[in-house]
Structure 1
Amino acid sequence: MTGNRTLYLAFVASASLFFYAVFHQWGSVTADSIQENLTSHRFGNETAAGRPDFEQIARKYGTDKVTTHQYQFMYDKYLSAIRDDQLKVLEIGLGCNMDYGPGASYYTWLEYFPHVNLYFIEYDGQCAQKYQDKTPNAHVFVGDQADTLFLAKFSTEATTDGLFDIIIDDGGHTMDQQMTSLELLWKAIKPGGLYVIEDLQTSYWESFGGNPLGRSSSKETTISYLYQLVDDLMIGRNAKQISHDLLSIDCMAEICALRKKKHI
C-alpha cells in the first residue's frame, strides 16, 4: 500500500507540473494574442500589413490635416477599412494658398489609396495646371466651388464613369463655398458614400462669413446648416434638400462627415 501511495503521489505531482506548464504557456500566448489584436484594431490592421497608416503618410507629405488639425481620427475611422478598394475620390482644394505649398493632400491620397481614381477642384488655375498631367489616375478641374454653374458642369463631366465614393471639402472655407458645394455635389456621391467638410471652425469667423455667436444668431453658417440637418434626422423631416437621403452626421473638432443612405 505504501508503494502504491508513493506512485500515486508521484503521478499527481507530475500531472500538476504538466498542466501548470501547459496553462502557463497558454496564458502567455493568449496575452500576446490579445495585445496583437488590440494593436491591429487600433491601426486598422495596418501594422500587420507592414505599411504606414493615414497619419504617417500625411505627415510624410506635410499636410496640416494631421499637424494643425487632428483629422486622422476621423479618416482612420471611416477610410482604413476601405483603403484597398477601387475608389473614386474628390477633394476640393489643392492647397495652393497654403504656406507649406500645394500638393500635400494630392500625394497623401495617391499613396494612401493604392487604387484611387482621384479628382481635385482648385480655384488657382496656374497652380492647378502643374498637377493636371502628373499621373493618369488624378484629374484636376479649375473652378470656384461657390459657382453653381461650374459645379453643375463639373458634376456632369466627372461622373460620366460613376459617382464619387468620397468627397472632401478642404477648399476656401467660406460659408458660401462650403454650403453651396455640399448642396450641389451631394448628388454626385454614391449611395453609402461619404462627404467630409474640414475647417468648420470658420463658421465662427466673421472674415469667412461666419458668426462668433454661433447658433444664437439668425445668420446661417455651415455649422447652423449642419444643425438643421441633425434636426431633420431626429424628427424625420426633409427641410433641407439633402436630408431625404442623409443617413448620419459624425463630427469632431473642426470636421464633420456626412454619410449618404445606401437605399432610399
Structure 2
Amino acid sequence: MTLLHESDKSFWHGFVDFYESFFENKKIEKIAEIGIFKGNSVRWLLERFPNSVIYGADILPIQKVWPIDKRFVFSQLDQGDRILVKNFFSQDFFDLIIEDGSHIPAHQVLALLEGVKRLNEGGLYILEDIHTSHKRYNVKTIGSIEYCSQQKGNALTVLLAIMHYKELGIVIDSSKAQMISEDSLFSKEEVIFLDQNLKSINFYRRAKLPQKCYACGSIDYNFSSLKCTCGVDVFADADSMTFVLEKR
C-alpha cells in the first residue's frame, strides 16, 4: 500500500494533483527517479503505474525501509558525478523521469541535460523542488555546497526564460540563447538543446498552505506570520516549486 500521504510531494508541496493532469493518456512503462529518501515515492509509482519498471538512484545504499519489488531496480550514485548520472540514464529510454535528488542547483542542471537525452518522444521530465535554485531559498548550505543570493543562473532561471519566449511565440536563436545563458550554469548550446527538445514547459508553485508541517506534523499555524507553531515558514517565497517538461 502506498504511503503517499506521508510524502512531502503530497502533504507539503501539493505536487501530485498537478502531475496527474500530465499522466492522463500517457503510456508510462519505463520510469527513472533520482532521490529515494524513505521510498514513499517509489511505492506510489509502483502502485500508480502497475505495468512499469522503476529505475531508482540515490547517494545512499539500499535502505531497509525501501520497497522490495522486482519492478524496482536500484543504482547507487553521486548526482554530482556526470559519468555516473549518464550511465544511470543509459540503462533505458524513459517515459517518465523524476529528479528529486540532492536539490543542489548544479546537480539539477546536470541531471536535466543528461535525462532529457534519454526521454522518449512525448516523455515527461519532472524537476522537483526547483525552489532550491531560487535566490531567496533560505537554506544557505547543504554539506559543502553554498546556496546564496549570488549564485549563477540555473535550471529555474533558464527554464523560465525558455518558457517565456515559447509563450510569446519567439524563436530562441543564437543571440537569445547567449542572453539566457549569460552568468548561468548553462552554455549557449545547452540552452538551444533544451529549447529544441522540449515541447512544453509547465511550472507549478504552491498557492495555498500545506496540509501539515513537514518538521513537526502540526496542522495549526501562526497564521499572522505564516509560520508553523514550531517556527517553520509555511508560505515562503521560495518553496514548493516544480517543473513538468514534455519532450518533443
What TM-score bracket applies, with the shorter chain setting the length?
Answer: 0.5 to 0.7
Q: TM (normalized to structure 2)?
A: 0.68
1:94 aligned to which of 30, 36, 60: 36
1:121 and 1:141 in contact (8 A); partners too: yes
Shift of 1:230: 2.3
Dislocated runs of 4+, deviation >2 Å? 129-132, 204-212, 227-235
2:228 match: none
Give the alignment's Cα RMSD to 1 decimal. Answer: 2.5
SS of residue paired to 1:124: coil
Shift of 1:150: 0.5
Amino acid in structure 2 at the alignment position of 1:142: Q
1:93 and 1:120 in contact (8 A); partners too: yes
- Distance in 1 separating the partners of 2:65 and 2:12: 26
SS of residue paired to 2:141: helix
Task: Count residues in correspondence.
Answer: 187
Distance 1:105 1:149, change over 3 A: same
Shift of 1:245: 1.6
- Distance in 1 separating the partners of 2:147 and 2:204: 18
1:221 match: 154
- Distance in 1 separating the partners of 2:29 and 2:62: 28
Distance 1:57 1:76, change over 3 A: farther
Q: TM (normalized to structure 1)?
A: 0.64
Q: 2:63 aligned with 1:111, yes or no?
A: no
Amino acid in structure 1 at the alignment position of 2:36: L
SS of residue paired to 1:235: coil
1:89 and 1:166 in contact (8 A); partners too: yes
2:71 match: 137
Amino acid in structure 2 at the alignment position of 1:151: V
Where in structure 2 are the equivalents of 1:122-161 lying within 5 Å?
A: 122-127=58-63, 131=66, 134-156=68-90, 158-159=91-92
Distance 1:218 1:92, change over 3 A: closer
Shift of 1:251: 0.7
2:203 match: 251
SS of residue paired to 1:247: strand
1:75 match: 19
Q: Deviations over 1:27-48 (max 9, x none)?
A: xxxxxxxxxxxxxxxxxxxxxx
1:181 aligned to which of 87, 90, 111: 111
Distance 1:86 1:221, change over 3 A: closer
Q: 2:45 aligned with 1:58, yes or no?
A: no
1:21 match: none
Structure showing greater relative contact order (alpha-carbon pairs closer than 8 Å, 6 or more residues apart): 2
- Distance in 1 separating the partners of 2:23 and 2:47: 13
Q: Deviations over 1:62-100 (max 9, x none)?
A: 211111111022112112444xx45111111111xxxxx
1:174 and 1:202 in contact (8 A); partners too: yes
Q: Deviations over 1:193-233 (max 9, x none)?
A: 11011112211324365555xxxx67213211212322553
- Distance in 2 separating the partners of 1:112 and 1:57: 12
Distance 1:210 1:249, change over 3 A: farther
2:89 and 2:115 in contact (8 A); partners too: yes
Q: Is there any run of 5+ residues in structure 1 with no aligned partner, and where?
A: 1-51, 96-101
Amino acid in structure 2 at the alignment position of 1:90: A
1:210 and 1:221 in contact (8 A); partners too: no
> Percent identity at matched positions?
25
Amino acid in structure 1 at the alignment position of 2:76: V
Q: Is there any run of 5+ residues in structure 2 with no aligned partner, and where?
A: 178-190, 206-240
